[in-house]
Amino acid sequence: MSHKFVIVGAGLSGLSNAFFIKHFFPKAQITLIEQSNRVGGMIVSNNRNGFICEEGPRSIRMGKYNRPLYHILNKIGLYKEFVPSIQQPYSYIYWNGKLNAVPLQMNLGTISQFIKDNGSGDLFKLIKAYPKIMLMNPNTDNLGEYLDHVLGKDLTEKYAESVFYGIYGESVYNLSKALCYTKSHMKGYDDQEISKDLSLDKDFEQVRDEKLQGANSYRFKNGVESLTKRLHDYLQETYKMEYKMQLNSKAKGIDLAKKELIVESREEQEEQRINYDYLILNAPTHQLSQIMANSNLNKIGEMFRGVKCNSLVTRNICWNQKILPKEFEGFGYLINPKQEQVILGMVADSLSFPSQYPENATNLSVMSIYDVNDHVILSELSKHLGVKIPEPKEIITKSWSKAFTRFSPGHQEEMKKIESELNTKNIIIGANNYTLAIPELVYLSYSKMKQLYL
Ligand SMILES: Cc1cc2nc3c(=O)[nH]c(=O)nc-3n(C[C@H](O)[C@H](O)[C@H](O)COP(=O)(O)OP(=O)(O)OC[C@H]3O[C@@H](n4cnc5c(N)ncnc54)[C@H](O)[C@@H]3O)c2cc1C
């Protein structure tokens, strides 16, 4: 078996692909093709006057799918820079003109606050729905239809819509139950089995257990971007000539007969042809449809074209003072799509990671579907929080246009069809076609490379 791997996209998917390729195929030659002038893709951390501003992901969730990512963090030594989140008692939902508490910790205080804000009727309905959530399995991949069955329409509309709209920027009635709720793409995950491939050092486990105890997510001393920067440095230092990064280079098409990737470089006049044994494509869906169409893979191009993409605008807003009301004790809040606001939700970064911001400072990340003037965002914030918002010290805006594959009902089945067509051509599609969550993305990279090895 020859071992020439070409990877399109140097975000976390591409970098973790490279890491696991070297794990399973030590002699592999890897070339990464990246259209921008940096590695990291959506992971962007900026330090502005002592404020860590995350323009993309702001934290990595803990939980059961972390081992492949932990293995990487162990190898690249980044675990020494773990910053745990401080768990807040609540998240909030904006509903009927005010923020309503939703407990993130179950105790008497948080439950009584929930009843105060939402009434005891909602609590009873939720308790009654719980066994149905565990037992009912209506045969539909439409998340909204499923939730209507198990929760009832009013709970779905108020709570589930807010949560899923906040994460996926889309109504539950347009989302896949398999991908967004049941997570069936993670079915093969088996920690015991994975531990045979991916060990963790005692020192790693000790530091992790000490530092992350009681947290539900984490990031790093200099922000999430340390992950992609350090992983790239590690791969370069460890594998030298066997790991090649080509920045400012855009993948345009594939010559299937010759097994060549066609690349347009900003620095070269002529297009370049790069020979591969295996080609891994981590570009977003709308780019993949273009690459397929340019490669006489029209049927697959059409299938990718049918996949909708969502956009998002994030704003990091910083103040040198406390601006949240005293009673706000939340990770952040979500806006129900029925409430007709521009903002989708807000994450209170400086409450979750206080050690990363100047004392008494506030840093909020505000998400919206489309871009509007800063003053619209600030006036909505003020309305939601019920306080007068002072002039911010800094606002950093980032627009993520068509960046997110929409996980519509039937999406997983569609991807399986595409994969079966591409596998025979030694082309692998990226994990971002199935998930947004960082630990899951890294696990899927690992499992795809392992399948090749087996
Ligand atoms: C605002 C925001 C908040 C998020 N919050 C969280 C969070 O809190 N927790 C969490 O776990 N996840 C979160 N995510 C999701 C997570 O960041 C992403 O799922 C993950 O970073 C995607 O990595 P990727 O490598 O698959 O894709 P990307 O990072 O998009 O990388 C793809 C790369 O491919 C390159 N590329 C595209 N087309 C071509 C081409 N034709 N040729 C060459 N290169 C190309 C791009 O330039 C890019 O560098 C968030 C994302 C965003 C944007």
Instruction: Write down the pLDDT at residue 3.
Output: 87
Closest residue by Cα to atom 38, ligand 1, is 283
Run of H or E residues at 338: none
Contact indicator for 316, 377 with CB cutoff of 8 Å: no
Instruction: Write down the pLDDT at residue 145.
Output: 94
State how far the Cα of 189 lies from the Cα of 170, in Å rounded to an integer: 27
Instruction: Write down the pLDDT at residue 126.
Output: 86
State how far the Cα of 5 lies from the Cα of 9, in Å rounded to an integer: 13
- Which two structure tokens, joined as six digits, stand for 229? 């920067």
Amino acid at residue number 375:
H
Closest residue by Cα to atom 31, ligand 1, is 11
Is residue 353 packed enough to be buried (19+ CB in 10 Å), middle (13-18) or exposed (0-12)?
Answer: buried
Closest residue by Cα to atom 19, ligand 1, is 436
**Binding-site residues, ligand 1, Cβ < 6 A:** 8-14, 33-36, 41-43, 56-60, 250-251, 282-283, 287, 312, 314, 400, 403, 430, 432, 436-438, 441
Contact indicator for 187, 8 with CB cutoff of 8 Å: no
Give the CA dihedral 42, 48, 51, 57, nearest 10 degrees.
Answer: 0
**CA 426 – ligand 1 centroid, Å:** 23
Closest residue by Cα to atom 35, ligand 1, is 9
Query: Which ligand 1 atom sits nearest the alpha carbon of residue 12?
Result: 25
State how far the Cα of 18 lies from the Cα of 7, in Å rounded to an integer: 8
Query: Which ligand 1 atom sits nearest the alpha carbon of residue 250?
Result: 42
Instruction: Write down the pLDDT at residue 381.
Output: 96
CATH code of the domain occupying 4-43+225-308+406-453: 3.50.50.60
Instruction: Write down the pLDDT at residue 203.
Output: 98
Closest residue by Cα to atom 27, ligand 1, is 11
Read off the DSSP letter of residue 392.
Answer: P
**CA 12 – ligand 1 centroid, Å:** 7
State how far the Cα of 232 lies from the Cα of 101, in Å rounded to an integer: 41
Query: Which ligand 1 atom sits nearest the alpha carbon of residue 431?
Result: 26
Instruction: Write down the pLDDT at residue 2.
Output: 58
Q: What is the pTM assigned to this prediction? A: 0.96
Instruction: Kindly report the three-state secondary structure assignment for every residue of 58-82.
Output: CCEECCCCCHHHHHHHHHHCHHHHE
Q: Provide long-range contacts, Cβ within 8 A and 24+ apart, for 392-396.
A: 392/317, 392/318, 392/319, 393/49, 393/318, 393/319, 393/320, 394/48, 394/49, 394/51, 394/53, 394/316, 394/317, 394/318, 395/315, 395/316, 395/317, 395/318, 396/46, 396/48, 396/53, 396/55, 396/315, 396/316
First to last CA, the chain: 12
Query: Which ligand 1 atom sits nearest the alpha carbon of residue 251?
Result: 42
State how far the Cα of 187 lies from the Cα of 416, in Å rounded to an integer: 14
Chain-centroid distance, C-alpha 57: 6
Residue among 19, 436, 440, 446 to mutate when testing ligand 1 (max atoms within 8 A of CB): 436
State how far the Cα of 435 lies from the Cα of 61, in Å rounded to an integer: 13
Contact indicator for 432, 402 with CB cutoff of 8 Å: no
Residue among 217, 249, 279, 282 to mutate when testing ligand 1 (max atoms within 8 A of CB): 282
Q: Kindly give, in sequence order, each residue whose CB lies less than 8 Å from that of residue 142, ignoring residues fewer than 6 positions away.
A: 173, 175, 176, 177, 409
State how far the Cα of 41 lies from the Cα of 37, in Å rounded to an integer: 10
**CA 40 – ligand 1 centroid, Å:** 8
Instruction: Write down the pLDDT at residue 134.
Output: 66
- Which two structure tokens, joined as six digits, stand for 306? 């049918």
**CA 154 – ligand 1 centroid, Å:** 34
**CA 11 – ligand 1 centroid, Å:** 6
- In b/e form, how buried is each residue of 396-422, taking b as 16+ CB within 10 angstroms? bebebeebbbbbbbebbebbeebeeeb
Instruction: Write down the pLDDT at residue 102.
Output: 94
Instruction: Residue 378: count other Cβ atoms within 10 Å of its Cβ.
Output: 18
* Closest among 118, 114, 126, 124 to 329, alpha carbons compared: 114
Query: Which ligand 1 atom sits nearest the alpha carbon of residue 367?
Result: 1
Contact indicator for 349, 366 with CB cutoff of 8 Å: no
Query: Which ligand 1 atom sits nearest the alpha carbon of residue 438?
Result: 11
Closest residue by Cα to atom 18, ligand 1, is 436
Per-position pLDDT tens, the chain of length 454: 558 999 999 999 999 999 999 999 999 999 999 999 999 999 999 998 888 999 999 999 998 899 999 999 999 999 999 999 999 999 999 999 999 999 998 899 999 999 999 999 999 888 888 777 766 677 899 999 999 998 899 999 999 999 999 899 899 999 999 999 999 999 989 999 999 999 999 999 999 999 999 999 999 999 999 999 999 999 999 999 999 999 999 999 999 999 999 999 887 788 999 999 999 999 998 899 999 999 999 999 999 999 999 999 999 999 999 999 999 999 999 999 988 899 999 999 999 999 999 999 999 999 998 889 999 999 999 999 999 999 999 999 999 999 999 999 999 999 999 999 999 999 999 999 999 999 999 999 999 999 998 8
Domain spans in the chain, listed from the N-terminal domain onward: 4-43+225-308+406-453
Read off the DSSP letter of residue 40.
Answer: -
- Which two structure tokens, joined as six digits, stand for 404? 């997110």
**CA 298 – ligand 1 centroid, Å:** 25
